[in-house]
Amino acid sequence: MRYLSTRGDATPRQFCDILLEGLAPDGGLYLPERYPQVDAAELARLRAVHANEGYAALAFEILSRYIDDIPAADLRAICEQTYTAEVFGTREIVPLKQLDDGFYLEALSNGPTLAFKDMAMQLLGHLFEYELGRRGQQLNILGATSGDTGSAAEYAMRGKKGIRVFMLSPHGRMSPFQQAQMFSLQDANIHNIAIEGVFDDCQDIVKAVSNDLAFKARQHIGTVNSINWARLLAQVVYYFAGYFQATSGAGDKVSFTVPSGNFGNICAGHVARMMGLPIKHLVVATNENDVLDEFFRTGVYRVRAAADTLETSSPSMDISKASNFERFIFDLLGRDGAAVRELFGVQLARQGFFDLSEDARFKEAAQRYGFQSGRSTHADRLATIRGVHERHGVTIDTHTADGVKVAGEHRTDVPMIVLETALPIKFAETITEALGHPPERPARFNGIEGLPKRVTVLPADVEQVKAMIVRFGGN
Ligand SMILES: *Cc1c(COP(=O)(O)O)cnc(C)c1O
C-alpha cells in the first residue's frame, strides 16, 4: 500500500515512512492511494474472526490491509499487546450498550484515560516503540494539551523504549481530575510542563520549537496529533466491531453518530464506509462550535478565529477548524490534489472560508457519502444527560450527550450507534449540574488527586522549554 498527500504530492511512501510524520511536505494530509474493498463474503469472514478470535484479531485483519511493511506476525503481536481486557476493561474491548430498541452506545472509553483517544493512542505507543527499535532511533514527542489528548499520549508512551514525552498544559486550567491523571505519572520518560499561560500559549510554543528545523532535527522532535494516519486507521476497527455487534448478517445496515471536533473519529467512519462497511448514515454531532454542522448544512466551510471559539461544557470538541476535514474534501472532490490545495492552501489562508454550495459534488455528498449533521448546546447537553439517566439509569458524559441528542434527530429504519467518547467522571462539574450529584468514579481512580505530582512549572518562554528538552531529551 502506498500513501499520498491530499495536496497532490505523490512521492511513493509506505506506512512506516509516514508513521512518525505529521503533515506531508506540501502541507497536505496522508491518505492511502485506495481503500481496500470488503465484499459481502469478506465481511462475513471478518464477522466470524471478530466473534471467534476477538477485537485484536479483527484489528489485525483491518490494519494488515493498509500496512505491508511490518511482517504479519509482528503486526499481529502488536495488536494483541494493545487490545487486552486488562487495558480496556472488558473482553469485548468496545461493548455495545443498548438504550432503546435499535439505539446503542458503543463504549470506547474504558481505556487508561477514560476517553476514546486511548483506542488509537495505545496502538501508536506500541507501533512507535517497534519502529524506532527497528531503526535504532529515538523520539522526543512534544505536544500541547488542554486535557484528553495529552493524557492519552502519556499513558500510551509511558515506559516505552526510545521515546520521551514533553507535554505542555496551561498551568492551573485543567480540571483537578485531568491534572491528577497526567501529573501523577512517575515514569522517567514522561515530562509534564505546566506553562504560565493559556492553551494557545502552549500551542504557540510547540509551533515555535517545531519551526526551528535545526533544533527539531537535532533533538528528534515529533508529535502525536490527530492528523496522524495511524491514529485514524486504528479507529476504523471499532466501526467494524460496532457493526458486527448491532447486526446479525448480510444485507444489514447501521448508522453512526459521532461527537466531533477535529473530524478524526468520524473520518475513520468514512474510511470504513469507503471500504464497503454497510453504513447508511454518518452523523456529525457538534457542540456550539459548529464549523462542521455549518458545512454539511450549507456547503460553506468557515474556520473561526480564536476569539470566536467558545469554551463549552464539551471542551474536547471546542475547535476553530477541523484539522482532519481535508481528508474528506479530497475524496469529495474526486481526489483532485490541485483543487484541495486551492481550497485549503489558498482560499482558507486568504479569506478564512471556502464555499462548495454550488458544486454538484457537495449537493450529492449526503447521498454518496452518507453524511448528515446536527448541533447541541449546553441546555441540550443537560437535558440529554438527565433524560438518559432517568429513562435508562445510565450516566453519559457531555460529549456523548451531544451525540445522543443529535442521533435522536436522525434515526431511521436501521440501528443507530452513538460513539461514547468519554466517561462522565472526566466532566463531573456538568454532570452534577445536570443530575444534582456527581458521576460514579471507577474504583481505580479513587484518591488520585492526592497522589504526588510530577510537573515542572515554566513561564511561557520558548527558550526555557527548549532547554528542558535538551536536558532530558537524551541526546
Ligand atoms: C477528541 C474528542 C472528541 C473529538 O474527536 P475528533 O476526532 O477530534 O472529532 C470528542 N469527544 C471527546 C471526549 C474527545 O476527547
Which domains does the chain show, CATH number per domain?
96-113+229-435 (3.40.50.1100)
Categorize the per-residue pLDDT at 31 as very low, low, confident or very high, splitting at 50, 70 and 90. very high
397-420 confidence digits (pLDDT tens):
999 999 999 999 999 999 999 999
Q: State mean pLDDT over 39-45.
A: 97
Categorize the per-residue pLDDT at 173 as very low, low, confident or very high, splitting at 50, 70 and 90. confident
Name the grid cell of 332. 469529495
C-alpha–C-alpha distance, residues 255 and 10, integer Å: 33
Which atom of ligand 1 is least distant from the CA of 262?
8
C-alpha–C-alpha distance, residues 298 and 285, integer Å: 15
**So what's the pLDDT on residue 409?**
98
C-alpha–C-alpha distance, residues 190 and 163, integer Å: 9
Name the grid cell of 327. 481528508
Categorize the per-residue pLDDT at 118 as very low, low, confident or very high, splitting at 50, 70 and 90. very high
What is the per-residue DSSP string for 288-352?
S--HHHHHHHHSEEEPPPGGGS---SSGGG--SS-TTHHHHHHHHTTS-HHHHIIIIIIIHHHHS
The pick from 265, 320, 321, 426 for probing ligand 1's pocket by mutation, whose C-beta has the most ligand atoms within 8 angstroms, reads: 265
Cα(376) to centroid of ligand 1, in Å?
Answer: 15
Q: Which long-range contacts (CB under 8 A, 24 or more apart) does 74-78 make?
A: 74/130, 78/123, 78/126, 78/127, 78/130
Nearest to 257 by CA among 149, 361, 375: 375
The 8-class DSSP code of residue 13 comes to B
Cα(260) to centroid of ligand 1, in Å?
Answer: 6
Which atom of ligand 1 is least distant from the CA of 152?
15
288-332 confidence digits (pLDDT tens):
999 999 999 999 999 998 888 898 999 999 988 898 999 999 999
Cα(73) to centroid of ligand 1, in Å?
Answer: 32
Whether residue 28 contacts residue 8, with contact meaning beta carbons closer than 8 Å, is answered with: yes
What is the residue with the minimal CA distance to atom 2 of ligand 1?
A: 316
Asked whether the predicted pLDDT for residue 147 surpasses 80, the reply is no
Name the grid cell of 380. 441540550
Which atom of ligand 1 is least distant from the CA of 117?
15
List phi, psi (to 5°) of 115.
-140, 155
* Full-model pTM: 0.96
Where do we find the cell 486551492?
342
Nearest to 403 by CA among 430, 380, 424, 425: 380
Q: State mean pLDDT over 8-31.
A: 92
**So what's the pLDDT on residue 475?**
60
**Which listed residue (97, 117, 207, 453) is catalytic?**
117
225-284 confidence digits (pLDDT tens):
889 999 999 999 999 999 999 999 878 999 999 999 999 999 999 999 999 999 999 999
The 8-class DSSP code of residue 380 comes to H
Rounded percentage of the chain residues whose pLDDT exceeds 90: 85
Give per-residue burial for 178-196: e unless 16+ CB within 10 Å, then b. Answer: bbbbbbbbeeebbbbbbbe
List phi, psi (to 5°) of 383.
-65, -40
Report in angstroms the alpha-carbon separations of 176 from 106, 171, 411.
27, 11, 37
Which atom of ligand 1 is least distant from the CA of 400?
11
Reduce the DSSP state of residue 379 to 3 states and report it.
Answer: helix
What is the per-residue DSSP string for 413-453?
SS-EEEEE-B-GGGGHHHHHHHHSSPPP--GGGTTGGGS--
Ligand 1 interacting residues, C-beta cut-off 6 A: 115, 117, 148, 226, 259-265, 316-317, 399, 421-422
Q: Which tops the pLDDT comparison, 148 or 59?
A: 59
417-456 confidence digits (pLDDT tens):
999 999 999 899 999 999 999 999 988 899 999 999 999 9
Cα(399) to centroid of ligand 1, in Å?
Answer: 8
Would residue 117 show up in a list of annotated catalytic residues for this protein?
yes
Per-chain mean pLDDT for the chain: 95
Where do we find the cell 473520518?
267
Nearest to 175 by CA among 448, 377, 401, 452: 448
**So what's the pLDDT on residue 444?**
87
Categorize the per-residue pLDDT at 378 as very low, low, confident or very high, splitting at 50, 70 and 90. very high
**So what's the pLDDT on residue 148?**
82
C-alpha–C-alpha distance, residues 411 and 266, integer Å: 17
**So what's the pLDDT on residue 176?**
85
The 8-class DSSP code of residue 368 comes to H
Asked whether the predicted pLDDT for residue 93 surpasses 70, the reply is yes
